[in-house]
Structure formats: C-alpha cells, structure tokens
Structure 1
Amino acid sequence: MDEARARDVLAAAGVLPVPAREARLLALGENAVFAAGDLVVKVGRDAELLDRARRELSVAVWLAEAGVPAVRAAETKPLLVEGCPVTVWHRLPEAVRPAEPRDLAELLRLVHVLPAPPFALPPRELLGGVERWLRLAGDAIDPADAAYLRARRDGFATAAATLTPHLPPGPIHGDALPRNVHVGPDGPVLVDLETFSGDLREHDLVVMALSRDRYGMSAAAYDTFTSVYGWDVREWSGCSVLRGARETASCAWVAQHAPANPQARAEFERRVASLRDGDETVRWYPF
C-alpha cells in the first residue's frame, strides 16, 4: 500500500476531525499510520490484517482494564473500509526522552504477571514468515543460503516445541524492544500491540539478549534491563534455541528486501555468514 491509497481509505473512513490530506503520516509499512488532533489512525494494507487489528484492539482494552500503561484505543472495533482494516487510537503526548531498556523492563514486569485474557492469544510464531520472505527474495540471494535458513527454521521449530520454560507461560508483547515503548510526561507506555501472544515469557527477554550480542546494545544497558526485570534469560538452558529461532527469522526478513536494495543484500549475506561460522559476536545492523 502506498501513501496515496492509504489516504483514500482514510478519507473514506471519515474518522478524523480534519480532511485526510491534512493528516500527518507517521509510518508506512504493513499499516499506514496517520495522526491528526488527538487521534491516530492505522490503515492496514488489506483485509487479511482484519483479525490482527481486532485482536490488537482487544489487547488494548484488556491492558487498560488491568492498569498496564499502554496505548489506548479510541474505538474498540475495527472498521473495514475499501477492503482495509482501520483502527482509531488516542494520540500519545510528545515523548520527553527516548525509551531505554529499563523502561521496557518495567513494563514487561507488569505484562508478565498478567493471567490470560478473556480472548484467545495466538502463539508467538517467530518462524512463520520465513518461507514467504525467502520466496520474495527470489534469485537475489544464493539458493544455498535459502536452503540453509529453511533447515535452521525446521530445526529450531522442533527444538522450541520441547523447551521447558523457567517462567510461567502467558501473555507476552512479542516484539519487546525499546522502540515499542513511548516515554511521555506520565512515564513509559507500551505501543505496537499487534504482536501480543500467549507463549513463553522468555520470548520477550531473548529479544534484548540478542540486541546486546548482535545490535550494539551496551553491556551496561543490558545489565540494567536484567536488574530491573529481575532475571537474565541467558541463565536459562533454552535461551540459545529461542535466540537461534529469532536470528533465523531476522535473516529471512532482511532477505525479502534484497531484490531492490543492495544494502539489504549485503546485510543478509553478513548475517548468514555469521550463522554459518557460528560467530555470535558479528555485529548486525538494523534494517
């Protein structure tokens, strides 16, 4: 979906206090995110995202009832406009500072003690998109690399199914990174609730361990995260399995951009080479 199409859907939805052409575009990906006045509107790319939009709104209502600081829904049901799901949110105040790992740890402590909500949460399917991303990469990547990632996917999927968790399984954010925390005048709140799942709590913690090892997070920042949360997932015997699954998915995700972007192709090749070499210290770069 391009911006023009998203604005057409936004206009047809009629949910903003200003004309769609005056709304500010905040992000453009699987969703186009617009802001105007006190509202934010997310326009999904197609009807396949309707169930996810419905679940995200349910999560927002549930978190509000539980008192967990998170983005709040302005409307509790999605609209389907011209084949696209549309959700309406209360706009957050301007950030007072960038979110830090300790902010995320505080919020995860709140989420990880919650019981299951009164609606179904899916499992965290880390590896579910690998085949689609590799298919989109096509001839832009070495077929041997694609085969290698498929084999890793299958191996880690099998291994993950047999893990014994350290923490009680339950609701997780699913993409627990500081970028999904907004720090306003009243403190940090969770945003981007689309990946909320019902699964091993360790999923949320492995993300940060991988950030330390692969993406340049300082050891001090990671230590603060684990201190605030109260546990270091690297002490768990299953950490390497979930880490390997996430690394595999991250490689495949970059691969889909390789046909049109030489930098993505180079980053993909760097990542795959580090996995083949078993070198967990090679720096990966966000893409």
Structure 2
Amino acid sequence: MYKVIFTLVLAVASFMGIQAQEFQGMAVYESKTSTSDFKTRMERNKNMTPDMQNMIEERMKKMFEKTFILNFNKSASIYKEEEKLEASAQAGGGMRMMSSMTGGGGTYYKNVKEKSYTIDKEFMGKEFLIKDSLPNLQWKMEGETRVIGGYNCFKATAVRPASKTDFRNFRPKKEDAATTKPADAAKKTSILDELDMPKETVITAWYTPEIPVNQGPENYWGLPGLILEVNDGKTVILCSKVVLNPKVKTEIKASSKGKVTSQKEFDETVLKKMEEFRDMNQGRGGNGGMRMRSGG
C-alpha cells in the first residue's frame, strides 16, 4: 500500500516538474522614447526647413518607436525586435548604427538563474557577441498597484548609472543665450557636441506576481513577477499582449555568432567610433554632423 502511494506521489512530482520545465510564455512590448526636446531644438533652428524637420521626425520615430517580442520560461528569455521588412530594406549603415544604440538590432538572451546575458549585435558591419553579468538592480518596493492588461501589478523603483552608448539616454544641452559666445557656437561641429548624458536614470517598473517569473524586457529583471511596464528616463516600454504556454514553443537559447566581448569592451568600441565621427566632421569644416542616410 505504502509502495503504491509512494509511486503515485513520485509520478505526480515528476509530472509537475516536467510541466514547470516546459512552461513558456510570450509577451509583446511597445517601446517609445520621447523626442520632444529634440523637436523643440529643431523648431528653433532657422536654417532647417519644415520638410527637413518632417523627414528627421519620421526617421526618429522609426528609431525610437519599436515593437519587441519576449519569449520566456522559468529561468531564461530571449528579447528581440519585431522584424519589419520596410525598415530592413531602407536602413543604411548610419541608420543601423543608430538602431543598435536605441535598443534594437540583435537578440537579448537573459539567464536569471546564472545571472548572465548574451547579446548578438551588428555594429559598423561587424558581428559582436556581448557576454556579461546581469545588472544588479536594487529594487525598492513602492506599494502602489494598478492593472495592466488584466493583470494586477505592483510598483518598484531602482536607480542605476546611465549607459553612455544608449542613444535613448542622450538629451540636447541646455543653452544660455547670455553665456553662449559666437566662438563657442562655431566649435560645435557634431551632433555629439550638442548632446548631454545624465549620470544616472531612475527606473520605475510594474510587475505582476500572477506570472511568477523573474523576467522582463531588455535587461530589466529581478522582481517576483513578469515586468509588464518600464519607465526608464525618457523611454517607456509597455506590454501589449501576453500568451502563456503557447502551442508553438520557441527555442530559448543564447546566440553563438560574433566576436565575443564584454559590455565594457563593446561600449568602448562604440564610443571610439562616435569620436571618429566627430573628428571626421570637424575635418569637413563642421557642416557634416552625424548624418542618417536612408540609403546603403
């Protein structure tokens, strides 16, 4: 009798273990970064025609408004931008570089069990495989609640250093007409000279314990439930759809293509290339700026 009970308990435990192991979910996120400060700066530029403003606004919209898919299980996830044929066909080198600096381009694999991540990114025609440890976000539980997509969510906040290679963190420098000299204005030969970077950003996340996975979009993680919304600086990432245990399973594993590098080494490569852009434009007499061409 005891042997039968033990066998039944073992079978149930094994079944539950298999179910937990096979558990998988899919979430769709809409990412949007505010460009209002850049728009205000353009409107003040008397040398920029309305057509030029509209063209730049349209390109910025494509760069700063993206859709991502997160496939996750209990221990790992992959986060990737939804592919758009139109964007892929039109993106030139400059646009692809900017895309990689605005959260797009490549697959973001997170393993919360090992506290590590792997990203495959193309930058300036080269394939990189970034491998590093997940950021140690010190979340503070705020106690506020709200409903997102039918799920009860709780608020949490954290503060972390701003990434110097994430273009979404940049903002136009404030100009003081009383202190800005003509000579200083003449020195501004690149868009990089017009931008400023905050030292740190405040993250506000909304997570739901009703989906008990330690996951979220991009590199956000570490809360007792799936993160459905993130406000990070000027960027808002909002979940628009969740599917639990989809019929078609997605293979969740890290990419293996590209030159293996750390996040620090990759950031140094990007910053060096940005400096080269600035030097190149200075050599052209300051009329170039960082151009974003739609052609290849």
TM-score normalised by the shorter chain: which range applies? under 0.3
With structure 2 as the length reference, what TM-score do the two structures score?
Answer: 0.23
Greater strand share, structure number: 2
Greater helix share, structure number: 1
Higher relative contact order (CA 8 A, sep 6+): 2
Larger radius of gyration: 2
